Amino acid sequence: MTIRLYNTLTRNKEEFVPITPGKVGIYLCGPTVYAKAHIGHMVGPVIFDTVKRYLVYSGYQVTWVVNITDVDDKLIKKGKERGLSMAEVACENTADYLANLAGLGVDQIDHMPKATENIDEIIQFIQGLMDRDFAYAVDGDVFFDVGKDPGYGKLSNRSADSQQGEGGEAAAKKRSSGDFALWKAAKADEPSWDSPWGLGRPGWHIECSAMSRRLLGETFDIHGGGLDLIFPHHENEIAQSECCHGKPMVKYWLHNGLLRAVAAGKLGGRSQREAEQATAHEATPGEATADTKMSRSKGAGGLADQIERFGGETLRFFLLRTHYRSTVEYSEQGLEETKTGLEGFARFFERFQRITGQSFYELTPIARRADGELAGDDDPLLAEVAQRRADFAAKMDDDFNTGGAISELFELVRALNKFADQQQLEDSAARSPAALASFQRGVVTLRELTAVLGLFRTAPTSKTGGEGELVNQLMGLVVELRADARKRKDFATADRIRQVLGELGIALEDRKDGTIWRLP
């Protein structure tokens, strides 16, 4: 088993060998929380959630950090517009971001440090750069002296001159236009912290250097982010960390493609190249993996709305079908197609339940790759399942080709369905116990592989849209009332609820993590 990944730093696909055997540290640049999240913000989190799952499955112990930028010009501006404090704006949008992560099944993050909670660490880091003469202070501002860093530009192949940096007053204080701010002197009415250089606040780039060092060390394995962050943000992170520590910051730099909204039927209006250039220009610094066009495009709406309309599972599946380094072409049509694809899985899970009496969602996924090997080459079904499993792993090992891995899942379901037809598994009188056992073992592998991608983790309970949403909410209420009755040992009421629902054809199923229901 060898995992290979494309390293932006070397522009090569390399064998993955962690710095410390068996352990992996991952840092992903998170959001600047000045506005609500949109689907473009979820590309990185969904990809790296899957990367972590796959590395854990492959036997590594993984620590994954995603920062929250909660102090920034954009937050201050937004607060002023809305008559709120910066902290209130940050708090509101962080809650929205977290809810959306949960909606898309992103639950593998170990640490989410906030910039405002790491000010001491940031000041200490800047002081380290001052002590080594890589930074200079002018009237309360502190800048990184890019001219002192001979390695500057190695990630992006760009020079410091192409960095626009701060204009106005700050620009006049800099030794060179490519220098960038590490610490910004406080202006009136702005949130600020005390520092050796006076009241002020940290620049954006230094946050990531300081927080990654605190949680992952001076050198760590994987740093991720959208490709719009390569320059200047990641180039500056490298400059800060490597000049401060005198050693490499990151072994593998992974960059995901951005998301681009494609209006249905209007694909011919703009050439691919024009559109890509627009994407690159419109990407806003500080907004990880976001194409800002997205937030303005008609129909894109709030992410919470999309999760409600299409389901978080559909969105996750949709994002994973594109290779992480490619541009995600977002369209409602694409989401509809994804939803249809997912229905094939749902029908198969229902069939599995009819045949075995077991819920697919209740099967405990095999957590480690080494534990999922299939025995019995003489069983044609299991031989095929083993082949699909090997192909799935080969695709994931090859720079996390999730789209290719998903194709193997479709093939696996096709094989299992075909086998169920041939062996008449739905006819309990006609089927053989051996065939049933093979089928069940095959489905265990399907459970294993879908769990690696973070898919089908819980049974769907919802029908989305209009009336379906009303039914959802009413059923939520009924289930809650029944749970309350049971809690106070009013079993007569609880049983009565179950009985009446049963008469209506609605099935309830009590599980460890709550009660689920199914409509007739």
Distance CA 71, CA 224 (A): 21
In the complex, least distance from residue 71 CB atom to Zn ion, rounded to whole angstroms: 14
Report the residue number, 242 or 408, with the smaller CB distance to Zn ion.
Answer: 242
Place of tokens 């064998």: 15
Contact 141, 181 (CB under 8 A): yes
Report the residue number, 68 or 449, with the smaller CB distance to Zn ion.
Answer: 68
Q: Name the amino acid, one letter, at 2.
A: T
Q: Should residue 26 be labelled a site residue for Zn ion when binding is judged by CB under 5 A?
A: no
Report the residue number, 237 or 408, with the smaller CB distance to Zn ion.
Answer: 237
Q: Which stretch binds Zn ion (CB under 5 A): 26-34, 172-180, 318-326, 456-464?
A: 26-34
Q: Should residue 413 be labelled a site residue for Zn ion when binding is judged by CB under 5 A?
A: no
Site size for Zn ion (CB under 5 A): 2
In the complex, least distance from residue 237 CB atom to Zn ion, rounded to whole angstroms: 6
Q: Should residue 250 be labelled a site residue for Zn ion when binding is judged by CB under 5 A?
A: no
In the complex, least distance from residue 219 CB atom to Zn ion, rounded to whole angstroms: 16
User: Does residue 83 come out as left (phi exceeding 0), alpha (psi in the -120 to 50 range) or beta?
Assistant: left
- HSE-CB at 384 with a 13 A cutoff on CA atoms is 17
Report the residue number, 29 or 76, with the smaller CB distance to Zn ion.
Answer: 29
C-alpha pair distances (Å), 357 with each of 52, 270, 349, 385, 462: 33, 53, 11, 22, 22
Q: Which stretch binds Zn ion (CB under 5 A): 29-37, 134-142, 146-154, 278-286?
A: 29-37
Report the residue number, 237 or 313, with the smaller CB distance to Zn ion.
Answer: 237
Q: Which stretch binds Zn ion (CB under 5 A): 1-9, 28-36, 395-403, 490-498?
A: 28-36
In the complex, least distance from residue 315 CB atom to Zn ion, rounded to whole angstroms: 24
Report the residue number, 31 or 105, with the smaller CB distance to Zn ion.
Answer: 31
Q: Should residue 106 be labelled a site residue for Zn ion when binding is judged by CB under 5 A?
A: no
Tell whether omega for the bond before 232 is within 30 degrees of 0, i.e. cis: yes
Report the residue number, 253 or 330, with the smaller CB distance to Zn ion.
Answer: 253
Contact 331, 264 (CB under 8 A): yes
Report the residue number, 29 or 238, with the smaller CB distance to Zn ion.
Answer: 29
In the complex, least distance from residue 76 CB atom to Zn ion, rounded to whole angstroms: 19
Q: Should residue 37 be labelled a site residue for Zn ion when binding is judged by CB under 5 A?
A: no
- HSE-CB at 470 with a 13 A cutoff on CA atoms is 2
Who contacts 510 (Cβ-Cβ below 8 Å, separation ≥6)?
Answer: none
Alpha helices in 63-180 (DSSP H): 73-82, 86-103, 119-131, 168-173
Report the residue number, 232 or 312, with the smaller CB distance to Zn ion.
Answer: 232
In the complex, least distance from residue 185 CB atom to Zn ion, rounded to whole angstroms: 22
In the complex, least distance from residue 27 CB atom to Zn ion, rounded to whole angstroms: 8
Report the residue number, 185 or 208, with the smaller CB distance to Zn ion.
Answer: 208
In the complex, least distance from residue 18 CB atom to Zn ion, rounded to whole angstroms: 21
Q: Name the amino acid, one letter, at 201.
A: R
- Exposure string for 136-175, b = 16+ CB within 10 A, e = fewer: bbeebbbbbbbebbeebbebbebebeebebbeeebeebbe
In the complex, least distance from residue 178 CB atom to Zn ion, rounded to whole angstroms: 19
Q: Should residue 115 be labelled a site residue for Zn ion when binding is judged by CB under 5 A?
A: no
Name residues contacting Zn ion, limited to 482-501 (CB under 5 A): none
Which pair of tokens denotes residue 384?
A: 């095929």
- 258 alpha carbon, distance to own chain's centre: 13
Distance CA 27, CA 413 (A): 35
In the complex, least distance from residue 31 CB atom to Zn ion, rounded to whole angstroms: 11
- HSE-CB at 49 with a 13 A cutoff on CA atoms is 23
Place of tokens 């005390």: 194
Q: Should residue 76 be labelled a site residue for Zn ion when binding is judged by CB under 5 A?
A: no
Name residues contacting Zn ion, limited to 152-211 (CB under 5 A): 208
Which pair of tokens denotes residue 163?
A: 């960095």
Query: Mind giving me the DSSP string for 453-495?
Result: TT-S-S------SHHHHHHHHHHHHHHHHHHHHHHTT-HHHHH
In the complex, least distance from residue 234 CB atom to Zn ion, rounded to whole angstroms: 7
Q: Should residue 342 be labelled a site residue for Zn ion when binding is judged by CB under 5 A?
A: no
- Reduce the DSSP state of residue 408 to 3 states and report it: helix
226 forms beta bridges with 256
Q: Which stretch binds Zn ion (CB under 5 A): 21-29, 86-94, 298-306, 488-496?
A: 21-29
Report the residue number, 46 or 208, with the smaller CB distance to Zn ion.
Answer: 208
Q: Should residue 409 be labelled a site residue for Zn ion when binding is judged by CB under 5 A?
A: no
Beta strands 135-138 and 61-66 are unpaired
Report the residue number, 57 or 204, with the smaller CB distance to Zn ion.
Answer: 204
Distance CA 55, CA 63 (A): 11
Q: Should residue 29 be labelled a site residue for Zn ion when binding is judged by CB under 5 A?
A: yes
Q: Should residue 216 be labelled a site residue for Zn ion when binding is judged by CB under 5 A?
A: no
In the complex, least distance from residue 96 CB atom to Zn ion, rounded to whole angstroms: 20
Q: Which residues bind Zn ion (CB under 5 A)?
A: 29, 208
